[in-house]
Structure 1
Amino acid sequence: MLKGLQDLHILLETARQGSLSNVARSMDMTPAAISAAIKRVEQQLGTALFVRSTRSLRLTPQGEQYLQQCEQALTTLTHAEAQLHSQQATLQGQLQLSLPSDLGRHQFMRLLDEFLTLYPQVSLKLQVSDHLSNLYRQPLDLLIRYGVPPDSNLILLPLVPDNHRVLCAAPEYVARHGAPNSPLELSQHNCLCFMLADRLHNRWQFSRAGEVLSVEVSGDRSADDGEMVHRWALAGHGIAYKSRLDVADDLAAGRLVPLCQAWQGEAAPLNMLVPDRRQLSPLIKALRQFLLQRLQP
């Protein structure tokens, strides 16, 4: 029971039994702990709730008024707490989800391990791919993807709506080739490009103070796997244009350095996608709430 609720429960029991020692025995506590709980509530309220004598104690008029209204509220709160714990204890089943390659193999691997520790009766079946899976044809409960899906019928649930792409490279690359001062200088650098559905994403967009800049880039490496582009960047083979979520740990550790920081990369909001709101089971809702808390900047 929460500390505040326990104190109120002690108050009610003390009022019913009229004895600190009796309450202490029934609640397996010491009389001093019972007395301390009463004093805490009285200090918070700024008024005495009990009149104490050497052998017994009784409610003051203020105490009678307070505890009369408090009993119903305590019952409601206790029920809510028990319901929450019951839901956590009984949350079970299998979740089938699809994740982007880079995000799934790194940050989400840790997050999902933590989620399974919290809910040991839950199991996960993961599909890790950068290709957009078909929620209507494949046995999947949800997708986690960057950006807005082309299928407007999917229900979009934001996870990190303000995420952006960031231009980055390994310190070794910058030491050898220098850092671009502007996205326009990317034509002088080896850029690591990502492909999706045979389409090469070699036009990178940036913005600054209302100005939008679109730059066509090129390089000697491209892949349809986001993690591969990530690894090439870490190995010092060129400049990557990655979701900040994908490279956050590397930027913090100095394995990658951000470039052209005066310019903001294009938006890459991270979303959870489900085919129908009726499929928002307690398990999916619990996963989303967990991710919302863990993915805060």
Structure 2
Amino acid sequence: MDRLGDIRLFVEAAHSGGISAAGRRLGLTPAAASARLAKLEAALAARLFERTTRQLRLTEEGRLYLRHATQALQALDDAEAALAAGRNVVSGKIRISTTSDFGRNLLMGWLDAFNALHPEVTFALSLADSVSNLLQDDIDMAIRFGAPREDCSLVARRLATNRRVLVASPEYLARHGTPASPADLARFDCIVLVIASGPLNEWRFVRGAQTESYTVPLDTSRETNDGAVTRTWALSGHGIVLKSLWDIDAELRAGSLQVVLPEWRYAADSPITALFHRNRYRPARVQALLEFLVERFAQAEAAWADLPMLGAQAPTGRGQTGEAAARSGNREPL
């Protein structure tokens, strides 16, 4: 228990930036707090802080130890709270990572709705179109578009299907016309999303027994590594872009974006998955959020039946929601 108290003191000092302030929060004098941190460093045979008269700065070893110590203390606090209440307590902070466009356009609103049900929960939301390292970034849940990479340390829960469509603004289509087939896209400006494994400029479509592909020429297209930018460019009339329905549901309903080639279906639809650490304790708040999101995804998919502009693109059926080990994929999840 002495070691546990020393670890709590270390975490408090790292977060507050001072040993004296951390000691006061735990009822210790500055001298006692300093001595206990020195004892912890001696036991670990590592210097955790660089100390100056004005600043307390974590060493590289200190940053590593802080990440694991914070996770361990959070798990202990969750367990104690659950035992004390005699039930699963939905409270505390959930750290989530997802893509920029989905996070801004749908997930933020869903998190607000979840907060209305569980006001004791707070969020740390990381938005990036690159793949997060769940352990390194201290993420509780990552929501990713695409098949997850093979990783025995992760567990994946399928949430929905990622339906993608070609869209453009009505103004752009009024100026340039509408493509009649995938091959006809060569006459139009296109916008390309670039991920860590390369640009997503290979577009393949099916219509009945027909299959057609179009490779967007990068030298004449707009490209970016931010999904939100591709959406903004399309809204501003800069061309045609391949977007997930999850990112543009509101724009389709408002008419600010229109589906192009609705009779052709994008052939590389992929799952949306929630990724978790395999061996890390999953607190009640994370499990409650997962169940909430499964329901919200299902409701949103059902509502797409009300979008006649999707034509043959409308989703059919629900994706599996069973939890399974993360499957291998040739591309990183988006």
* Bin for the TM-score computed over the shorter chain: 0.5 to 0.7
In structure 2, the partner of 1:201 is: 200
SS at match of 1:125: strand
How far does the alpha carbon of each residue in 1:223-263 deviate from its partner, in whole angstroms, 9 at most, with x for none? 00000000000111100100111111111111100011111
Pick from 288, 293, 297 the counterpart of residue 290 of structure 2. Answer: 288
1:224, 1:87 → 2: CA distance?
44
- Conservation of the 8 A alpha-carbon contact between 1:192 and 1:220: yes
When residues 87 and 255 of structure 1 are mapped into structure 2, their CA distance, relative to the original with a 3 A threshold, is farther
- Conservation of the 8 A alpha-carbon contact between 1:243 and 1:268: no
- Conservation of the 8 A alpha-carbon contact between 1:166 and 1:244: yes
Length-normalised TM-score, structure 1: 0.67
Stretch moving more, 251-260 or 285-294: 285-294
In structure 1, the partner of 2:98 is: 99
SS at match of 2:131: coil
**What is the root-mean-square deviation of aligned Cα atoms in Å?**
1.9
In structure 1, the partner of 2:130 is: 131
2:294, 2:94 → 1: CA distance?
17
2:193, 2:122 → 1: CA distance?
32
- Conservation of the 8 A alpha-carbon contact between 2:157 and 2:274: yes
Length-normalised TM-score, structure 2: 0.60
Q: Specify every segment of 5 or more residues in structure 1 that has no aligned partner in the other structure, as ranges.
A: 1-85
- Conservation of the 8 A alpha-carbon contact between 1:191 and 1:240: yes
Q: State the shift of 1:277 in Å.
A: 6.1
One-letter amino acid of the structure 2 residue matched with residue 273 of structure 1 = L
2:259, 2:281 → 1: CA distance?
40
What does 1:84-123 correspond to in 2, within 5 Å? Answer: 90-123=89-122
Q: State the shift of 1:279 in Å.
A: 3.6
When residues 252 and 137 of structure 1 are mapped into structure 2, their CA distance, relative to the original with a 3 A threshold, is same
Task: Give percent identity, aligned residues only.
Answer: 36
What does 1:73-92 correspond to in 2, within 5 Å? Answer: 90-92=89-91
Q: State the shift of 1:205 in Å.
A: 1.7
In structure 2, the partner of 1:57 is: none
In structure 2, the partner of 1:58 is: none
- Conservation of the 8 A alpha-carbon contact between 2:145 and 2:162: no
1:275, 1:187 → 2: CA distance?
44
What does 1:1-297 correspond to in 2, within 5 Å? Answer: 90-153=89-152, 154-160=154-160, 162-197=161-196, 199-218=198-217, 219-265=220-266, 266-276=268-278, 279-296=281-298, 297=301
1:231, 1:91 → 2: CA distance?
37
Q: Specify every segment of 5 or more residues in structure 2 that has no aligned partner in the other structure, as ranges.
A: 1-85, 302-334
- Count of paired positions: 211
How far does the alpha carbon of each residue in 1:73-120 deviate from its partner, in whole angstroms, 9 at most, with x for none? xxxxxxxxxxxxx868x3111111101010001111111111112111
1:231, 1:133 → 2: CA distance?
24
SS at match of 2:212: strand
1:181, 1:118 → 2: CA distance?
47
Larger Rg: 1
When residues 255 and 277 of structure 1 are mapped into structure 2, their CA distance, relative to the original with a 3 A threshold, is farther
In structure 2, the partner of 1:45 is: none
SS at match of 2:199: strand
Q: State the shift of 1:271 in Å.
A: 1.1
1:249, 1:87 → 2: CA distance?
39
SS at match of 1:269: strand
- Conservation of the 8 A alpha-carbon contact between 1:155 and 1:277: no
